[in-house]
Amino acid sequence: MTRKASPSFLEFFAGGGMARLGLGDGWTCAFANDFDPVKAATYRANFADAGSSNEEVHFHEGDVWTIAADRLPTADLAWASSPCQDFSLAGARAGLAGGRSSAFFGFWRLIQALAAEGRSPDTIVVENVVGLLTSHEGRDFTALCQALADAGYGFGALEIDAARFTPQSRPRVFVVASRRRADALAGPSPFHSRAVKAAFARLPAGLQAGWIWWGLAAPPARNTDLAALLEPDAAMAWSPPDKTRALLALMAPAQRAAVEAHVQGGGRAVGAVFRRMRDGQQRAEARFDGLAGCLRTPRGGSSRQTLLVIDQGEVRSRLLSPREGARLMGLPETYVLPRSQTAGLHVIGDGVAPPVVRWLAASLLEPLIDSKSASLAAE
């Protein structure tokens, strides 16, 4: 099989460039965009070829609706991590008609324009929160599938939790569309979740006919936990004891019992804590399974994540730092974060975990590219 030396991609809604990091050095970023100034600055800080804010290079800072199709080079892959707030279970569920998620159509009009010129990408990935599958009783997902089918793509969805790669619970849906059936890449997968199967079942028969059950294999077992990624205790600022007591007071009896069990055990335990509303009452909920909860932006539906550390019978708490959050996303230590903690959490909380993208690329996207190269060589 002939391997294309360096497949190229267009990255829409690029944020801090986490999909690019996941695709890796074997891919060439031909174009990227984001409208958020903080994310754009972070992208430029991490990728030298992005230029400065005054240069018109491959990175475009601005709304996707302002991009002209002739600005886009021809590429093998288009990646779109469109704004997810209107699909999120924590949001108002406005769906594709919502102000933010309507950005998807700004992206899609560019794909249609490229198709009219005969140079649309052979492969498309749309990444979003799991709520995409059920938004408006599945009508938004059906609309997405219809758009892909009308453009001549076969498609299928995978639900992948970043927890398989890094100690953060972060389920996301990846809709992978291809102009090639690539039957050899179809098959069973642990990522055909119940939600994905239900979304498929809701599709009209005509769209089901275009569905591909991508056979993405499971990765090796993760060998790190939350505690392994934290900064040394002595280097961090801890909450005052009264604030920790107030946090514990917000816990339901079962949660308090779990904390007390760790206290009595006398060892070290690290838990991730979120504050949530339960039946109109604010509650603190801790998990001690070695995973952090899903990182979110500071303006998201849940508060900033807190760490609860129990050691030798002492209970302390503190906020998760942006660098620790970056590690939970699978970002390298060299990744440049904004100086502001709020800005840093904003960038990482809106991103896609690079290890997930790498597994998807190695197991599916790159074989799709290879299948095209092999077909061309045979002609």
The letter for the amino acid at 305 is Q
3-state secondary structure 26-45: CCEEEEEEECCHHHHHHHHH
The whole-angstrom separation of Cα 356 and Cα 160 is 8
Taking a C-beta distance cutoff of 8 angstroms, is the pair 182, 239 a contact?
A: no
Taking a C-beta distance cutoff of 8 angstroms, is the pair 42, 347 a contact?
A: yes
Residue 84 a catalytic site member: yes
The whole-angstrom separation of Cα 377 and Cα 371 is 10
**Which residues, other chains included, contact 128 with Cβ-Cβ below 8 Å and sequence gap of 6+?**
81, 82, 84, 87, 172, 173, 175
Q: Give me the catalytic one of 29, 84, 145, 294.
A: 84
**Dihedral (CA of 40, 41, 42, 44) sign:** positive
Region of 80 (left: φ > 0; alpha: ψ -120 to 50; beta: rest) is: beta
The whole-angstrom separation of Cα 302 and Cα 170 is 14
Taking a C-beta distance cutoff of 8 angstroms, is the pair 184, 371 a contact?
A: yes
Helices (H), the chain: 18-23, 37-46, 103-116, 139-150, 194-202, 205-208, 241-249, 253-265, 322-328, 341-349, 354-360, 366-378
The residues that are catalytic are 84
